[in-house]
Amino acid sequence: MKHAIALRCMQTALGWAAMLGLPLLTLPLLGGDMRAEMNLSPAGELTARDLHVWGRFGVGTWKQVRIVTESIGARGEVVDTTTTETKTTLVRADASRLTLRIEATVEVAGKRFQSQPQVVEYGYYGEAPNEPTDLKTIGTAQVTIGDRQCNCQVQQVVANVGAQKQITKLFVSDDFEPYILRRDTTVVTSDNKVDAKQQTTAEVVGLDRPYKVLHDVKPTAYERTIQHTPRGTNFTDDVTSPMCLAESWPARPKSWTRKATLSVAVL
């Protein structure tokens, strides 16, 4: 039974690690070498790589996520605890795609189970390698964050993911980091129907909020993500600072994120 739980947790961890690498979410703690500048196009516009959560970082950058899952009995007592650790490393990143190496370890009843590392590759919009994407601007809109009205360009990206299509609507602002202020993603099945169990909404809900990062107080953006999956719904709050690169931190990442996730599973 314990081995079955460990296997299920490990499969879930690998699946979530791959999904967390998609442009639906932001990064937890990161380490490794950083690129000093973003890859701006000759016209000074933000590229798909600039807007992707991994795109601003150099090869060798990693993130590590630790999830503790508690099973609650009928009387409210904790009957089982599972700890899952997932490390994701950026192996390759070029102008059109990136490659991630994912390693997962699950601890159940004091025993550790380690999976074989997985390597995944996809484009910056979540498409499979060499699959075409259709990017177009469909208008402009204002996004309200607190008492601020942020003018945004609305872009739509259609990416092929196997037999399905992933349709993402981006609200992009050049004036406010993290630039994508809202992202709505839906999945359309092969029979051209929207899959209600695969939808994600990610939006910035706060700008320039002070937050203590290590020994300093930095301006941060608060982001909230609601992700519907066949296994349940995940609510994630991120506190992201784009201002964490200091002279005393030459090997630190340019961005920093603290993540808290609440998962509601379908039993």
- Provide the pLDDT confidence category of residue 2 given band limits of 50, 70 and 90: very low
Neighbours of 131 (CB within 10 A): 15
- Of 254 and 159, which is predicted with more confidence? 159
When pLDDT is averaged across residues 108-127 and rounded to a whole number, the result is: 86
Token reading at 144:
């309200």
Q: Dihedral of CA 199/204/206/210: which sign?
A: positive
- Of 20 and 115, which is predicted with more confidence? 115
Whether 222 and 238 have beta carbons less than 8 Å apart is answered as yes
The structural domains of the chain, with segments of one domain joined by +, span 2-265
pLDDT value of position 260: 54
pLDDT at 143 over 90: yes
- Of 190 and 34, which is predicted with more confidence? 190
Task: Give dist(CA 120, CA 118) in Å, integer.
Answer: 7
pLDDT value of position 127: 78
pLDDT at 53 over 60: yes
SS3 4: helix
Specify the pTM.
0.69
Neighbours of 184 (CB within 10 A): 15
Single-letter code of the amino acid located at 70: E
- Of 218 and 152, which is predicted with more confidence? 152
Among 33-47, 139-153, 174-188, the range with the most confident prediction by mean pLDDT is 139-153
Q: Is 3 left (phi over 0), alpha (psi -120 to 50) or beta?
A: alpha
Three-state DSSP string of 107-126: EECCEEEECCCEEEEEECCC
pLDDT at 79 over 60: yes
Smallest CA-to-CA distance from 64 within 45, 37, 86 is with 86
Smallest CA-to-CA distance from 21 within 67, 57, 69 is with 57
pLDDT value of position 259: 55
Smallest CA-to-CA distance from 31 within 256, 259, 260, 220 is with 256
Range with lowest mean pLDDT among 12-16, 134-138, 164-168, 213-217: 12-16
Mean of all residue pLDDT scores within the chain: 76
pLDDT value of position 242: 64
Single-letter code of the amino acid located at 105: T
- Of 6 and 80, which is predicted with more confidence? 80
